[in-house]
Amino acid sequence: MRQAGHGTSAAVVGARAPHAQPANPACVIGPGQRCTHALVDGELNRRLDEYEARVRARFGAIVPVLRQISAQEHAEDFVWRAQELARERLGYELPAALLKNAWVTGLDMSALYSDAIFKSFADCIERADADQAPWRERLRLDADFFRACGYHTVDITPCADGRLQGLLPFVLRIAPDEMVSVKAYAGAVLDVETDMADWTQRELERLSGGMTGYESCNYLKIAVYHYSSSCPVDQGCAAHGSNDLKAVSCALGRLDELRAAIENTFGAGAAPDVLLIGIDTDIDSIRIHAPDAQGHVAAARYLDNATLYRDTLGLDAETARARITAAVTASDCTPGMQTLIAHLLEANLSQIEYVIQHHAGRYAVIGHDENFIVAGESVCPMQLRNMYYFAHLDTLEEGAPDMDVGIKIFTGLNLQCGLAVPILVHFCYDVRVPGSRERAVARCRRVAGAIEARYADLAARGMIHCRMAVTDVHGTEIAALIADEAVVEGH
């Protein structure tokens, strides 16, 4: 097989690398038990399933369409046929420059694939409000709920693994909101200095009167690690070599460091509340490590929601809820934290059943199946498992470990199949600040250039395709691709 690039054969476009299927089922419903849990929101699950099918179809159509196009590349009216097919099946046209000389040089399928990925991404962003409106309105863990629990900010650091990209609406059933922020790092190894700066800014807003109704509330920091119950040695956290103990200890260690750093700097009692959550990415069940009365979290002390699901399946709603509440109150954390944990566990029951009913009890692909990499700042409107791998960074130098993990993942997903790695470099700006957008664009260019320099061999062979996008945090421009400014254009 020739390398994807100039003159690449269309034969390279096909299914990506196969994934091993574990033998053991992830969830078994016992004899006599009902298959629908009394606390599950079936209507919300139905709406999420429709959303997932709609979004995945936009990306799933790319390879079949490119296969059809490749079969016609020597037709006399090839360009017209190709564009007609793309418009009909994908909803957009492909770059004419990549099509018009195909009869001489052959189709650059890798470049066509990357371009289609970016255009499907843009389509999803444009349709996000309409796509998500049906399920957003049913999410109950919102700003009012967190305020009732005693929190003005919920700052979540999950692992950058694509399997956690549906963390908020799917796994935790949390409504996306300005008070909820997500900063993903490989291995959930959060940046203590960055989190201190974020905590300081939010506390300053609260103390200066900028948070009406949240004056007595606290800051909550959550770290989210993950593991695989079916294939623990192969499909756990790549950043930790699928070592679950290391994943837990590293996330917990950073939480402890953050608390210590804030108390050492601002005094005893200043530290935010912290919570550690684990996700079995095979079935999306969670483990919650409840803090003790002093706010400390222990690796060995947790509530396993897969167990709670099985133990409460078949009970009526009131009895099942009482069982969960009793399990939570056995810990000695604050009442507000107990309320939060109980609701997270109950909400996650719907996701466990979502996987049972819509994914046969365990995801068919329990490993990586991302479509592209996002480098920089997360794209909030993209809320779906394995949609993209996220490398949070301000500069490539500090984010290099996360990018290296992403390239390693896409070596198996794309590079071994002859497809390039699509990388979206994305940063946010504030329209209220003069020159902010221009600086965000310049930042995109610097990071994209640094990515090409770090992976120079791949870039030279056309195996990395970067595009840039910016988002206005206080306006209407959301993950907008920067027109005519692709760092790597289709040859």
Residue positions annotated with a catalytic role: 161
User: Alpha-carbon distance 339 to 303, whole Å?
Assistant: 14
User: Alpha-carbon distance 328 to 346, whole Å?
Assistant: 11
Q: 430, 474 in Cβ contact below 8 A?
A: yes
Structure tokens given for 444: 């995109």
Run of H or E residues at 198: helix 192-207
Please count the CA atoms within 13 angstroms of the CA of 350 that sit on its side-chain side.
27
Angle (deg, nearest 10), helices 128-136 and 42-60: 160
Q: 478, 471 in Cβ contact below 8 A?
A: yes
